[in-house]
């Protein structure tokens, strides 16, 4: 191997190493982001299952009742810590053993830490 070939081989191996490093540094954040999204989706599904077990009967509501819940943007976990169903004027306390009560406008079981767009402060 002469000096020219040696330089060429060195240049090629440097380029290959650089490409591998660049590929790794570009793909790593994308792969990590994808994994984190999957974890969050999995956590959301688990949280939904836990809430569904706390407030059973949501799945057997009529399509009309589901539409009312959806149109008022009811959620089992409030996005605003100071606005929850249990401090809403329209919330009715649980009647059975479970933690979930009811609501004067939203049909079906209502989680005390839920929320919807019809929230009114209880005085």
List interacting residues with ligand SF4 (CB under 6 A): 74, 85, 88, 90-91, 103, 105-106, 110, 114-116, 118-119
Q: What are phi and psi of 30, to 5 degrees?
A: -65, -45
- Smallest separation, CB 105 to ligand SF4 (Å): 5
Which C-beta is closer to ligand SF4: that of 51 or that of 119?
A: 119
- Smallest separation, CB 29 to ligand SF4 (Å): 39
- Smallest separation, CB 116 to ligand SF4 (Å): 3
- Please give the helix or strand (H or E) that residue 102 lies within, else none: strand 102-103
State the first-to-last Cα distance of the chain, in angstroms, to the nearest integer. Answer: 90
Collapse the DSSP code of 110 into the 3-class scheme (helix H, G, I; strand E, B; otherwise coil) and give the result.
strand
Which C-beta is closer to ligand SF4: that of 58 or that of 74?
A: 74
* Alpha-carbon dihedral 38, 44, 47, 51, rounded to 10 degrees: -150
Which C-beta is closer to ligand SF4: that of 30 or that of 123?
A: 123
> Please, what is the Cα angle at 47 between 43 and 50, to 5 degrees?
140
- Smallest separation, CB 44 to ligand SF4 (Å): 20
Which C-beta is closer to ligand SF4: that of 12 or that of 67?
A: 67
């Amino acid at each position: 191997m002469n000096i020219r070939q040696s330089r060429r081989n060195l240049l090629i191996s440097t380029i290959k190493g650089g490409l591998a490093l660049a590929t790794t540094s570009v793909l790593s954040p994308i792969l990590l982001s994808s994994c984190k999204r999957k974890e969050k989706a999995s956590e959301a599904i688990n949280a939904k299952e836990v809430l569904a077990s706390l407030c059973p009967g949501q799945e057997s509501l009529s399509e009309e009742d589901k539409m009312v819940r959806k149109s008022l943007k009811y959620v089992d976990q409030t996005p605003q810590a100071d606005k929850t169903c249990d401090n809403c004027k329209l919330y009715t306390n649980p009647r059975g053993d479970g933690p979930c009560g009811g609501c004067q406008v939203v049909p079906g079981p209502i989680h005390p830490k839920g929320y919807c767009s019809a929230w009114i402060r209880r005085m």
